[in-house]
Amino acid sequence: MKNESKEIKNENLEEIKELGTTVPKEDNHSNIQVVTIIGQIEGHNVQPPQNKTTKYEHMIPEIINLEQNDNVEGILFVLNTVGGDVEAGLAIAEMIRSLSKPTVSLVIGGGHSIGVPLATSSDYSFICPSATMIIHPIRMNGLIIGVPQTFEYFNKMQERINDFVVRTSNIKKEKLNELMLQTDELLNDMGTILIGEEAVKCGLINEVGGVKDALNKLNELIADSKEQLRP
């Protein structure tokens, strides 16, 4: 029975490694779990094997497991994503926002497109000085059938994304729309590139910082959470 249990445990660790997340060690007593959101957000369509992706069907059970794990008191989400599937990205963002445990996000390379709501979904957000965020409208690719209906669908989806970002950050809706519809920054497209401090100044991200700052803030949020639970 012991050997069978050990084999199952090893299989589970291998599965966690494949997701790109931190594998907890036997002697690791850290109360913080690190989750990476990198590459392209993969949704219903499978990306080519050479593409680095974050798969939403992996993220959903992982986030639920973290919520149920009593050993995890706080979660650090590290982002370097070019965006991807809008529905999947927004679903992951909503799940992160609904967690009862303190969460902090850190944008280390880029938080582009649907990566924006993923970055703002945590309780507190950081961005590295050289990291970038790209805000732009939803792009339409492929065959479009029934133009008015398709436009209405994309318009509703854009509203959902904008409402989420406004709800989970300090940016005003008017400012978000202004950045999204600019035509002088992105070649052949509308949108805005924000670098480090610029993302903080417009209210999209809370603070410029790195790993140390993110962990310090997360520990602070964990301490506050414990204080509130005391009778």
Cβ neighbours, 10 Å, residue 218: 25
DSSP string, 146-193: SHHHHHHHHHHHHHHHHHHHHHHSS--HHHHHHHHT--SSSTTS--EE
Catalytic residue list contains 112 = no
Specify whether the CB–CB gap between 118 and 79 falls below 8 A.
yes
> 105, 113, 125, 169: which one is catalytic?
113
Catalytic residue list contains 58 = no
DSSP state of 51: S
What count of Cα atoms within 13 Å lies in the side-chain half-sphere of residue 163?
7
The residues carrying an active-site annotation are 113, 136
